């Protein structure tokens, strides 16, 4: 059931961690609500009591319901959802399962996640594909005109990170999906930072594949992720790995893939985490992602504006539309030192270096930046406290 009214008091009461820290490292791993932790611990306790296989059998319906929850999250049938150990491995299962041929052009953007770019570099060496980089437009997001030009030249795939790890940008996924549809190009969307932060609908976006994680804006357990694959993707992709869960051994010398997206899963998985992921998605849907997306962006704007008003503090976020990630530097103070000094004040942030975003930070000549990422359970007072703490540090 989707909530029609947001209550900061209620979500903070359900988040024990807010009593200990000011947590603005949600792009790393968010504070889970009690229901997620309780679900994971309860599952583990049941394994302790009766055994792992036996618990999986007993909790069959609970585990199956996770696929319904994930489908509701992205607007897809449950048969098109898979539970994978993390977003990167989910993305890998799709990318490495694509039947690339030498000379295939794969189009990506400056916001692309470092692990994704590394995969393309490996595929260039292995299969002779060509990675084509789309420039930023005047807002710092993917340039749609340049993308249209490159798709007209021909491409096998567009792979785009929806929200980068190194800034507040939200790339225009629906517009990219529309161009891919016009040109008949396979579209893979990395929604690692956007799942739980902004509403997602794969039909509206027009992507063939979408990967996401549990630990960030969904507030789920670490070691959980998911994959959406469209009907076309099921026809095109062949998982790079196979086991007795992904396929049936039909004869001594033959096998058949599962008909649904679970062909991308492994037989052995983190069952307690899977249950916790389902609880996290249900909680997010219950609070209302349409509502919380606005709050996350508003809190980040408050943080950007406050930091930007400080002398010797520079904010580095791009994009016509911006979300909950705020990146900044303090002139004369190393980012690692800023992070440590904030941590000493019980404020959790993170850092992002050029080696994590060579297509983005490096061309802008930026050093390692401090990353503060808001969530809907943060209070306005906490945001003001972060600004005040940075003022002290500078």
* Closest listed residue to residue 220, CA positions, set 18, 310, 85, 112: 85
- Rounded distance between C-alpha atoms, residue 185 and residue 196, angstroms: 27
Whole-number average pLDDT of the chain: 97
Position 274 pLDDT exceeds 80: yes
Evaluate whether 226 touches 211 at the Cβ level (below 8 Å).
yes
User: How are beta strands 209-213 and 225-229 bridged, if at all?
Assistant: antiparallel
Exposed (0-12), middle (13-18) or buried (19+): which is 269, by Cβ within 10 Å? middle
* pLDDT tier at 355, thresholds 50, 70, 90: confident
Position 187 pLDDT exceeds 60: yes
- Rounded distance between C-alpha atoms, residue 84 and residue 18, angstroms: 29
- pTM for the predicted model, two decimal places: 0.96
For the record, the structure tokens of 269 come out as: 């998985």
- Rounded distance between C-alpha atoms, residue 151 and residue 196, angstroms: 30
Position 44 pLDDT exceeds 70: yes
The continuous run of DSSP H or E covering 342 comes out as helix 335-344
Q: Tens digit of pLDDT for each residue in 13-35?
A: 999 999 999 999 999 999 999 99
* pLDDT tier at 178, thresholds 50, 70, 90: very high
Q: Tens digit of pLDDT for each residue in 228-251?
A: 999 999 999 999 999 999 999 999
Evaluate whether 28 touches 271 at the Cβ level (below 8 Å).
no
- Rounded distance between C-alpha atoms, residue 371 and residue 158, angstroms: 27
DSSP code, position 30:
P
Q: Tens digit of pLDDT for each residue in 316-331?
A: 999 999 999 999 999 9
pLDDT of residue 203: 98
Query: For the chain, what is the largest distance between any 2 Cα atoms, rounded to a whole number of angstroms?
Result: 71
Q: Tens digit of pLDDT for each residue in 49-65?
A: 999 999 999 999 999 99
- Sketch the domain layout of the chain as residue ranges: 8-24+289-393, 38-286
E strands, the chain, are 22-23, 81-84, 105-109, 130-134, 157-161, 186-190, 209-213, 225-229, 247-251, 254-257, 313-315, 325-330, 347-348, 350-352, 369-373
First to last CA, the chain: 45
- Rounded distance between C-alpha atoms, residue 250 and residue 256, angstroms: 7
Position 172 pLDDT exceeds 60: yes
pLDDT of residue 3: 45
For the record, the structure tokens of 157 come out as: 């795939």
Q: What is the mean pLDDT of residues 95-103?
A: 97
- CA torsion 284-286-287-290 (nearest 10°) is 80
Measured CA to CA in angstroms, residue 72 lies from 1, 75, 94, 187, 348 at distances of: 11, 5, 21, 21, 31
pLDDT of residue 260: 98
Given this chain, do its domains 8-24+289-393 and 38-286 carry the same CATH topology?
Answer: no
Q: Tens digit of pLDDT for each residue in 298-312?
A: 999 999 999 999 999
* CATH number for the segment(s) 8-24+289-393: 3.90.1150.10
For domain 38-286, the question of CATH label 3.40.640.10 is answered with: yes
pLDDT of residue 4: 52
């Amino acid at each position: 059931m989707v909530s029609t009214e947001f209550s900061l008091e209620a979500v903070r009461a359900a988040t024990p961690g807010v009593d200990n820290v000011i947590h603005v490292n949600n792009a790393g791993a968010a504070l889970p609500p009690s229901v997620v932790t309780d679900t994971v611990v309860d599952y583990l306790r049941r394994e302790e009591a009766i055994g792992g296989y036996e618990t999986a059998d007993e909790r069959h319906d609970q585990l199956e319901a996770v696929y319904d929850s994930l489908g509701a999250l992205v607007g897809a049938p449950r048969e098109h959802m898979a539970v994978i150990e993390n977003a990167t491995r989910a993305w890998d299962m799709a990318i490495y399962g694509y039947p690339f041929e030498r000379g295939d052009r794969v189009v990506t953007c400056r916001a692309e996640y470092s692990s994704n770019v590394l995969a393309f570099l490996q595929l260039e060496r292995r299969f002779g594909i060509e990675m084509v980089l789309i420039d930023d437009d005047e807002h710092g997001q993917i340039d749609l005109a340049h993308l249209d030009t490159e798709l007209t030249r021909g491409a096998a795939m567009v792979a785009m990170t929806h929200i980068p790890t190194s800034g507040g940008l939200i790339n225009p996924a629906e517009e990219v999906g529309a161009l891919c549809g016009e040109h008949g190009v396979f579209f893979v969307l990395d929604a690692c930072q956007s799942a739980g932060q902004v509403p997602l609908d794969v039909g509206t976006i027009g992507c063939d594949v979408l990967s996401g994680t549990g630990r960030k804006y969904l507030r789920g357990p670490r070691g959980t992720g998911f994959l959406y694959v469209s009907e076309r993707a099921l026809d095109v992709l062949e998982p790079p790995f196979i086991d007795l869960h992904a396929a049936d051994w039909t004869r001594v010398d033959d096998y058949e893939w599962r008909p649904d997206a679970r062909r991308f899963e492994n037989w052995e998985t983190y069952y307690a985490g899977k249950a916790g992921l389902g609880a996290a998605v249900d909680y997010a849907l219950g609070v209302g992602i349409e509502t919380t997306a606005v709050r996350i962006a508003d809190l980040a704007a408050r943080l950007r504006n406050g930091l930007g008003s400080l002398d010797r503090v520079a904010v580095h976020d791009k994009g016509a539309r911006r979300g909950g990630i705020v990146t900044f530097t303090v002139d004369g103070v190393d980012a690692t030192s800023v992070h440590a000094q904030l941590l000493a004040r019980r404020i959790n942030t993170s850092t992002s270096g050029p080696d994590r975003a060579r297509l983005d930070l490096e061309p802008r000549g930026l050093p390692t930046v401090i990353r503060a990422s808001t969530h809907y359970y943060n209070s306005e007072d906490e945001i003001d406290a972060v600004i005040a703490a940075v003022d002290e540090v500078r």
